[in-house]
Amino acid sequence: MGQNVTLVMEFILLGFSDLPNLQGLLFGIFLVIYLSILIGNGLLMVISRIDPTLHTPMYFFLRNLSLLETCYTSVTLPRMMADLWSQKRTISLLACAVQTCFLYIFGVAECFLLTVMAYDRYVAICKPLYYSLIMNHKVCVQLVVASWMIGIPVLIEETYQIFSLNFCGPNKINHIFCDAPPLFKLACGDTYYVEVSVHVVALLFVTIPFLLILSSYVKIITTILKLPSSSGRSKAFSTCSSHLMVVCLFYGSGSIVYLQPKSSQSAESGKILALFYNTVTPMFNPMIYSLRNKDVITALRKLFSR
């Protein structure tokens, strides 16, 4: 019987193949979204680099967040647009593994970077006299490097475990990109231990940063409420409101996708929700930081006036 089993060496990403008459429209929409992400995050990276008034830890972290979200989106969107344009949709086992691995690495890095940004706001509001001492350039660089690198070894191992499973049945992935949940449905044999391992890693690398962010904001809000003047409270809250909105958008959309019971989630709704947190959230983040930040608006005006 073992000689009659054919191992799958490539998959077919079904994506939005059930909408054959809308392939051109979807390609145009995704192209506009991708260009918006590149332009919006690119502008934030440029102005935070060239404008001296934005040479602070907060904008240093924001520049890295913009770079991270550009990379995160580039893992999936170009491939989706290529599939819509060519109608090919096949992806090799290796390419699928690479896409999954980078998707998880950038996603976990964003979790930790958002945690670092929350810590930065905590120090700025709760320990303002020690801010320049605590958040010096060396510490900021170390925190960013740690955010990018801390999950790489574990996530590479997790990706290896996922793609070490035997795929010998259907090779059609009913999703818009390679991800663990739809891949488990195609695996032959028992996937229980690999699924448990994936959930444990997600618990460590997603839940712990979220709890750290939550504890930081509890202390931040407590400190803000103790300020004597209403103008002081308003100013203090405005310095962290943009970051708080980005955190809610990122964790809210991700939680809906991964914490929703499998029985109540259809394949089509899963695609839409995955598309939301993978593309729409990175598109909105530059707008949130630009429209709610006077320093960024001023820097943009200086850039365009040149």
In the chain, where the domains are located: 8-300
pTM equals 0.90
Higher pLDDT, 147 or 293: 147
pLDDT of the residue at 1: 42
**What is the per-residue burial (b if ≥16 Cβ within 10 Å, else e) of 194-205?**
bbeebeebbeeb
The answer to whether 11 and 93 are in contact (CB under 8 A) is yes
Q: What is the pLDDT of residue 8?
A: 74
pLDDT digits (tens, 9 = 90+) for 21-57: 888 899 999 999 999 999 999 988 988 888 888 889 9
In whole angstroms, give the CA distance from residue 175 to residue 269. 10
Least confident of 30-34, 87-91, 190-194, 237-241: 237-241
Separation of alpha carbons 169 and 151, rounded Å: 31
At residue 244, what are phi and psi to the nearest 5 degrees?
-65, -40
* Statement: 8-300 belongs to CATH 1.20.1440.230: no
d(C-alpha 59, C-alpha 295), whole Å: 10
pLDDT band at 162 (very low <50, low <70, confident <90, very high): very high
| Pick from 64-78, 193-207, 216-230, 258-272: least confident | 258-272
- Count of positions (residues) in the chain: 306
Q: What pLDDT, in 10s, does the model give residues 95-151?
A: 999 999 999 999 999 999 999 999 999 999 999 899 999 999 999 999 999 999 999
- Pick the range with the lowest mean pLDDT from 53-62, 179-188, 219-228, 249-258: 249-258
173: helix, strand or coil = strand
**CA proximity to 65, closest of 302, 258, 284:** 284
